[in-house]
Structure 1
């Protein structure tokens, strides 16, 4: 659940030029903003796993998911939820973390007012991101990685009308593929829901985390192209 292991990757993650703090009702959110060059096609918020189980914005799956979005031309914002790293506040039992996600989306919407927004999350971050992104009209698409369907109620997704991508390990300990397939089958046709299963790995994707990056990059590139050709009305 740590950030990238090599010294170079670790240095890049801890001290990048894109470090910033975003004002929040409880004080501030620590964040990392990355803007692709030469063109930004959209912006994405990427949310981390459970704060009480070591989850941070430096988690390797979160990092690779963000890189995939950047590969597709999206600016990415990763935040530390309240009480994590240099973010102020205390763990909010999912409710407070939803507020943090909304604060981060306000930041992205102000900075990239003319561009489509995506919300992505891993594990606990997927539960937070899906609920917030579903209800926010500024968000055009959703990504759920390692969706813990065995731990949380995701029935609210039956109201989803936005494109949604699920990326899941075949051997995920916190959400069986069968349960996730059942959930996806219940979603409205308008969601254009896609489920990509990475074979032979569990919740943390083990040595196939780069496959997560590639899946997300390909899917997000299509979303960005569709928004350019047919912008939302």
Structure 2
């Protein structure tokens, strides 16, 4: 349990005593059943952990065992900020990586803006199928740090064209990665998601990735 603005937040912390950075993972829409146990979020956390980062995924207020009630806006960003502060206390001075899926993409993007405002920008921001229509004032995306947007081409929840148009309109460099034949939840495509993160967030050549790995691991 991590202290949050409206009470405790349920979280899953994967420590690394020799961590080279820290990663916060933000889950999808809690009003539609999204929690930190989502397989996309789990995949992102394990990928970041395997690259030597200390990682934390957490449930927003009113989700799982977290206290409070849903806000569906700034409240969840406040929760993410508190969760990141908890992680930073345990790993001070390390570079910050932000990951968000769907609604969590909005949360991670908005948090990146807050970090930039206080002069502590994230070094990497990875948004998977992000809810881009929510990233409007008073929320904003940081102009600093490497930005990777991973969008499934057959997304049935968030219109892919909205994400493509949003990405094209950004006044900053970014990497847009399209995952072919994939729906919103990356069913059967978690290996491709992991490979995209390794290649574009962690600068790894994934040509030799183990395609036989459990796609839901």
* Structure 1 and Structure 2 fold alike (TM over 0.5): yes
Q: Is the 8 A contact 1:47 1:79 kept in 2?
A: yes
- 1:5 alignment partner in structure 2: none
Among 200, 204, 209, the residue aligned to 1:219 = 200
Q: 1:84, 1:158 → 2: CA distance?
A: 25
Which sections of structure 2, spanning at least 5 residues, go unmatched?
A: 205-217
**CA RMSD in angstroms, aligned pairs only:** 2.1
Q: Provide the C-alpha distance between the structure 2 equivalents of 1:136 and 1:153, rounded to a whole number of angstroms.
A: 15
In 2, distance between residues paired with 1:154 and 1:184?
14
Tell me the CA shift for residue 181 of structure 1. 2.3
Distance 1:159 1:186 in 2: 14
Normalized per residue, the structure richer in helix is: 1
The alignment of Structure 1 onto Structure 2 pairs a total of residues equal to: 199
Measure the CA separation in 2 of the matches of 1:110 and 1:158.
Answer: 24
Offset of residue 200 of structure 1: 0.3
The answer to whether structure 1 residue 75 and structure 2 residue 54 are counterparts is yes
Which TM-score applies when normalising by structure 2? 0.83
The farther-off stretch of 131-140 and 51-60 is 131-140
Structure 1, 211-220 or 155-164: larger mean CA deviation: 155-164
Name the residue aligned to 2:99.
120
On the 8 A contact 1:159/1:187 being kept in 2, the answer is no
Q: Which residue of 2 aligns with 1:180?
A: 163
d(CA) in 2 for partners of 1:158, 1:24: 22
Q: Which stretch shows the higher mean deviation, 126-135 or 43-52?
A: 126-135
CA distance in 2, matches of 1:43, 1:82: 22
Q: Per the alignment, do residues 218 and 73 of structure 1 end up closer, same or farther by CA in structure 2, a change over 3 Å counting?
A: farther
TM (norm. structure 1) is 0.78
Unaligned ranges ≥5, structure 1: 1-20, 224-233
State the distance in 1 between where 2:10 and 2:52 align.
23
- Provide the C-alpha distance between the structure 1 equivalents of 2:33 and 2:141, rounded to a whole number of angstroms: 30
Matched residue of 1:201: which SS?
coil
